Amino acid sequence: MAVNAVHWFRKGLRLHDNPALKECIRGADTIRCVYILDPWFAGSSNVGINRWRNSERAHAVPALPVGPLAIFSRFFCFLLFLVPAIEPPGPCTCGSGSRTAELNPGPRFLLQCLEDLDANLRKLNSRLFVIRGQPADVFPRLFKEWNITKLSIEYDSEPFGKERDAAIKKLATEAGVEVIVRISHTLYDLDKIIELNGGQPPLTYKRFQTLISKMEPLEIPVETITSEVIEKCVTPLSDDHDEKYGVPSLEELGFDTDGLPSAVWPGGETEALTRLERHLERKAWVANFERPRMNANSLLASPTGLSPYLRFGCLSCRLFYFKLTDLYKKVKKNSSPPLSLYGQLLWREFFYTAATNNPRFDKMEGNPICVQIPWDKNPEALAKWAEGRTGFPWIDAIMTQLRQEGWIHHLARHAVACFLTRGDLWVSWEEGMKVFEELLLDADWSINAGSWMWLSCSSFFQQFFHCYCPVGFGRRTDPNGDYIRRYLPVLRGFPAKYIYDPWNAPEGIQKVAKCLIGVNYPKPMVNHAEASRLNIERMKQIYQQLSRYRGLGLLASVPSNPNGNGGLMGYAPGESIPGSSGSGSCAHGSGILPCAHTDGQQAHLLKPGKAEALAPALPAAFLSSASHFRCAGRNCVGPVLSSGKRPSQEEDAQSIGPKLQRQSTD
């Protein structure tokens, strides 16, 4: 009996280090590589579609037939999901200039990933089969039509992915199809980490490090799929393959590409491997790894940036890990790599582990590790933030870059996330997370949600008195304001002295700059000094009441992420955060100065017991349901922020670098 195999690509859009695909090919007579373009499911695997999803609209779209005759209607419905949840504003006189609907980088990046994968498969006399539909509808048809006997997938650790895959496995079993699942999107088997921690995910980074130090050495990457690997396994192709199963173009999806600039982040495995080599060429950086100093240039996308490629699986995290290890050993002989060298990868694993068994990880309500904070509902403020119309050039430039390029520096993420939540606007982290999910190319579900909880002091971190100044932080990073001029050309004419707080510029300077504040660019939407002071008091009272009612002490201390291109994390409790303060003041140069941009009202350090009445009364929902807490007798512990036994002092002090196999990937 012929063995007809299908490999289902979701993440893991690559041919290198793809153990599921390699195992699928072994012993197969035919192989088809499939990608299902599904604009309806609300999970994180259909990148480029879920960024613009609207669940109510998605549920209203009727199921359409699958097949070549339905291509046009498929494309039409597909377009419904490529509209940002918050539309860019139309032309206005009080903003950064006229705006029109922009093509978000997400669809182009995804299509480029698929085009590159198809091109690489062509070199092996194979092709990628792009099929439009929902997996639960598509696979029963494919099993029969192609007489499939074997299906392979990369393990998806996220709750939605596990639920989806369980349903497909059930369909496959009923059809007599063998299912192969292999782990390759993460370094570790997350279930084993949780098992080692007594059945609970570690919710402190230090505990996570301790656990992985006790695990078996990491498996080295498997060989790349080549013509030698694929050998006698053939791909049945028809003359109308492109019509039936080709990767759609932006034009076919209805986008006007005239004048479309070149992609800042070209998608695909080929680009990912090229960037990896550039990354590794920086031998001095690898040998003397330390926290990169943030400057104006670091705010721009780097040609060695890798985060979107790790997110889509165009680059294997294991390959990256072992390449770093090999290079470090060549440069620093007789020296073991520091754990900080793998910071970005290990933070990624940490959040994947924390989220894998928590389907409410991206929600506040019902999330056992999230403090229930009574955030304001303010759609107007949210829209101004998302559209870059806050009146703070530093914040608006960051959000403009995000919308145009799909990426912003990790400390820029800090700034805008703090501004939206506990710093200024007091809007829920869930709303900011959704905008990042729509716009960020590297917005992994687990990492995105975990980072927003961390930065809003909803979990993992509680130093709410650190507040990023929307003027001083940017000025300290880029004193000349070149970043502002690049993304907010309406402010280009302002001198450096006023470009971060143009409302303080005399009217004559505004006229010379051809930008009147309140006419050509908005006034600040909030008084930062007052808002940050009020919000710090709110957070203070929330934590005092939580401590009082639940016996909660300090939340988990989260060490810093040393990677300059990492996620939202960058600074740990107790670290000096550039451009932030505990008083709503602004960092300027090397010192902390009172805010000079708030109509003369300076923020001040909070004093114990002062202004507690400023915080709103906490609703009953603040006291999360009993199932979210561990209680013993009369002592209750608040949201479960540290699972398993508390690590001993010896565990905390020991070297906790992961064990490595010594084989080289060269």
Annotated binding site for FAD: 344-351, 442-444
Q: CA 38 to CA 433: how far, in whole Å? A: 22
Question: What helix, strand, coil percent values describe the chain, rounded to 5?
Answer: 40, 10, 50
> Residue 100 has which token pair?
């029109």
**How far apart are the C-alpha atoms of 451 and 514, rounded to whole Å?**
39
Q: What would the 3-class secondary structure string for 237-252 be?
A: CCCCHHHHHCCCCCCC
Which long-range contacts does 610-613 make (Cβ < 8 Å, 24+ apart)? 610/537, 611/533, 611/537, 612/537, 612/540, 612/541, 612/544
Which H/E stretch holds residue 178? strand 178-182
CA distance 44 to 361: 13
Other beta carbons less than 10 A from residue 196's beta carbon: 15
Neighbouring-strand partners of residue 468: 580
Q: Are 357 and 201 in contact (CB under 8 A)?
A: yes
User: Of 51, 88, 39, nearest to 388 (Cα)?
Assistant: 88
Total Cβ atoms within 10 A of residue 623? 16
Cβ-contact 464, 540 below 8 angstroms = yes
**How many residues make up the chain in this entry?**
666
Instruction: Give the pairing of strands 30-37 and 4-9.
Output: parallel
Task: For residues 606 and 534, give the distance between their C-alpha atoms in angstroms, rounded to a whole number.
Answer: 10
Please state, in angstroms and rounded to a whole number, the distance separating the CA atoms of residues 660 and 334. Answer: 14
Residue 177 token pair? 């199809």
The amino acid at 130: V
Q: How many angstroms separate the Cα of 245 from the Cα of each of 71, 118, 125, 583, 662?
A: 10, 11, 16, 58, 42
Binding residues: 344-351, 442-444
Positive or negative, the CA dihedral 57, 352, 189, 196 is negative
Greatest Cα pair distance in the chain: 84
Distance CA 2, CA 581 (A): 67
Give CA separation, 276 vs 139, 303, 323, 326, 455, in Å: 35, 10, 9, 13, 29
DSSP-based three-state secondary structure for 54: coil
Contact 595, 603 (CB under 8 A): yes
Q: Distance between CA atoms of 216 and 223, rounded to whole angstroms?
A: 21
Concatenate the DSSP letters of all residues of 180-244 into one string. EEE--SSSS-HHHHHHHTTTS---SHHHHHHHHHTSPPPPPPPPPP-HHHHTT-B----TTHHHH
SS3 letters across 507-545: HHHHHHCCCCECCCECCCCCCHHHHHHHHHHHHHHHHHH
Q: Using H for helix, E for strand and C for coil, what is the string for 355-388? A: HCCCCCCCCCCCCCCCCCCCCECCHHHHHHHHHC
CA gap 425, 615 in Å, rounded: 14
